[in-house]
Amino acid sequence: MTKLNISIEQLRSMIGLKVLYNHVTCRVVEILEDGPALVLEDLEHRQKIQPDQHGEAHRIAPKTYTVDILSPDCTEFSSAFLAMEPRDN
């Protein structure tokens, strides 16, 4: 079984890219290296109440999604990652 590799630099180049994820327009805002995974921010004004470190709600923030880059066995890209479509910036 061959392990699929993608560099963190390649992933970082995606920061700022607009994508369609699950029928929602989002922007890549962060890369989680230990997944690796992309963090997407909802650009369609969907919001959620964001709790503080004590679990108390204090502000409304854009909804975010975390998308794994690789499949669990790291041999191919995840279906969620492959399903994302680029959008015009």
Task: Quote the pLDDT of residue 16.
Answer: 95
Q: Give me the percent of the chain exceeding a pLDDT of 90.
A: 56
Residue range 12-23: average pLDDT? 95
**Domain count across the chain:** 1
39 lies in a domain? Answer: yes
> Does residue 8 register a pLDDT over 70?
yes
Task: Quote the pLDDT of residue 2.
Answer: 59
> Does residue 28 register a pLDDT over 70?
yes
Task: Calculate the alpha carbon distances from 43 to 17, 21, 30, 79, 85 in Å.
Answer: 12, 11, 15, 22, 14
Residue, of 84 and 56, whose pLDDT is higher: 84
Residue, of 75 and 68, whose pLDDT is higher: 68
1 lies in a domain? Answer: no
CB distance 57 to 71 below 8 Å: no
3 lies in a domain? Answer: no
**Going edge to edge, which strands form the sheet with 64-68?**
64-68, 37-42, 24-32, 18-21, 85-86
Task: Quote the pLDDT of residue 85.
Answer: 95
In this prediction, residue 60 has a pLDDT band, given cuts at 50, 70 and 90, of confident
- Domain of residue 81 covers 8-86
56 lies in a domain? Answer: yes
Task: Calculate the alpha carbon distances from 61 to 19, 41, 50 in Å.
Answer: 19, 10, 6
